[in-house]
Amino acid sequence: MTHLLSRRPVSGRPVAGRPVSHRPGPERLVRGRIVSGRIVIATARRVLAQLRGDRRTVALLLVVPSLLLVLTNQMFDAQPAFDRVALSLLGIFPFTTMYLVTSVSMLRERTSGTLERLLTTPMAKLDLLLGYGVAFAVAAAAQAAVTCGTAYWLLGLYTPGSPWLVVATAILGAVLGMALGLLSSAFATTEFQAVQFMPAIVMPQILLGGLFIPREEMADWLQTISNALPLTYSIDALSEVGRTSLLTDTLLRDLGVVAGTAFAALVLGAFTLRRRAGTLRPAARRALLVVPLVGVAVGGAWTATHLLGEQAYVTTDDARIDGDAIVLRAPATGTLVDWNAGQGSILRRDDPIGRIRINGGFGRPTQIIRAPGDGTVVVDSGFEGNLVTAGAELAVAYDLSAVRVTAPIDETAIGDVHVGQPVDIDVDAYPDVTFAGTVQEIHAAAARQPSAEETTGRFRPTTQVVPVDIAILDRAGYTLIPGMNATVRIRQER
């Protein structure tokens, strides 16, 4: 009896006379935690060691992008054109190479049985994915540093924004490529099939990302598709760094979209991660079927709403705040003295704003300069003590309470515009405010827009536009200055 009581428990059942052990096994340990930093670091080290041992992969990541940039530089005669293309390539190279390397590496580990052996240990799927993410983020940082160093120091790339922003955006694009590579590897059973996914997943994003043709020049339906592709936002973020040195809301939005898409792809990749090659589990197949269907449904609904909304408006983003200019001119030739019409000065009709001392006259006569109307000075060209000639422009003022919007409407759409139509006005200076307006006047003469052949060398028929004046019904206390950029949407009559 004593021998029986001292036996070890069998199948986890308690034995009389001995306390029950509550120490969890490996599976309970995995389920009881979210992630293990030690396992993540160990996985990242293993992946980096594998990459370092594969010289061809190292050359693909570090050498090939720089060589392609040098080749691209030799194709362009003008540095600004190269700067634009090079920025786009700095987002495309990490995305493409990391997608290729990740999808093939994960599939190789699955087919060789390594993944199955790893997941029998206390390693969770999230540990594996984060380990891969850390390893490829390090590889992406090295690639971005080498490629950006080549672009900036060897090829003379210039961006108003910080080069570190370019590097950070390139790394984020590489993480996006890694996440999509992990996700697409679940659908392949051989390395050749993994490579076959590149034309379907990578190439459309490159073609529609604005590398070859600006997205603004694409057809509306192509722009809609482009807006749904994550690489587009990575390229747009790099273009924003090449446009301004400020950390704009547009840049943060683009980076947020890329990061969010990478996170979503990692979540789906974790759900579809399999230990061995073969068909997916029924639950995973159903999930992968539902997710694209929901995406297509949401995208179709958004596209339909967008297209219907676009058809209900005549839109242009080339509008300007305008008004009736009050030009202050010198009434005589002489020296400008007592000038009181600096920028921002408020003018009242017939008020004296300066004098002209007539040189060579008997007794040094002066002539008073009076304001020709009420307004606010927006351009000051007068400098006290300067010699001016009769009729020279000294300042330009506008009545800021009577400004309007002038919008060039394409001749093909002018038939849908009529006096009195309501208009939504978005001014770039106030991005969170939409002003209400109404069509006030349609000019009788058309203006000519520069054709594409004059700026890009590609032939295109000359575009004619008709200026349309739009009255602003309520300025809501905001100061609108002539010259500000605006976007207008004229609601079509039904």
| Residue range(s) of every CATH 2.40.50.100 domain in the chain | 326-400
Token pair, residue 130, equals 């984060």
What six digits make up the tokens of 198?
A: 């590149």
CA angle (113 as vertex; 111, 116 as ends), nearest 5? 115
CA atoms of 31 and 424, how far apart (whole Å): 54
The domain defined by 317-321+402-491 folds into Elongation Factor Tu (Ef-tu); domain 3 (2.40.30)
DSSP reduced 3-state for 55: helix
CB 334 within 8 A of CB 354: no
| Separation CA 76–CA 210 (nearest Å) | 17
Question: Tokens 């040094």 appear where?
Answer: 364
Task: Return the structure tokens found at 486.
Answer: 């605006």
Secondary structure class of 62 (helix, strand, coil): helix
Nearest to 324 by CA among 378, 392, 403: 403
Range list for CATH 2.40.30.170 in the chain: 317-321+402-491
Give the dihedral of Cα atoms 213, 218, 223, 226; nearest 10 deg: -30
Token digits for 428?
């770039």
Q: Are 177 and 97 in contact (CB under 8 A)?
A: yes
Identify the segments of the chain with pLDDT beneath 70. 1-35, 77-79, 111-126, 272-311, 360-363, 445-463, 493-494
pTM higher than the cut 0.85? no
CA–CA separation, 355 and 332 (whole Å): 10
Tell me if residue 79 falls in helix, strand or coil: helix
The H-assigned helical ranges of 112-188 are 114-119, 125-149, 163-185
Q: Phi, psi (5° rounding) for residue 337?
A: -135, 160
By CB atoms closer than 10 A (0-12, 13-18, 19+), residue 274 is middle
Q: Provide the 10 A C-beta neighbour count for residue 240.
A: 25
Closest CA to 196 of 113, 104, 277, 288: 104
For 458-483, b/e burial (b = at least 16 CB within 10 A) is eeeeebebbbbbbebeeeeeeebebe
Q: Cβ(134)–Cβ(41) under 8 Å?
A: yes
Q: What are phi and psi of 112, to 5 degrees?
A: -85, -5
Rounded Cα gap, residues 475 and 428, in angstroms: 14
| Rg of the chain on CA atoms, in Å | 33
* CB contact at 8 A, 232 and 92: no
Architecture of the domain whose range is 326-400: Beta Barrel (2.40)
Tokens of 17: 């006379």
> Three-state SS string across 392-448, please?
CEEEEEECHHHCEEEEEEECCCHHHCCCCCEEEEEECCCCCCEEEEEEEEECCCCEE
Q: Specify the residue for token string 């590897």.
A: 185
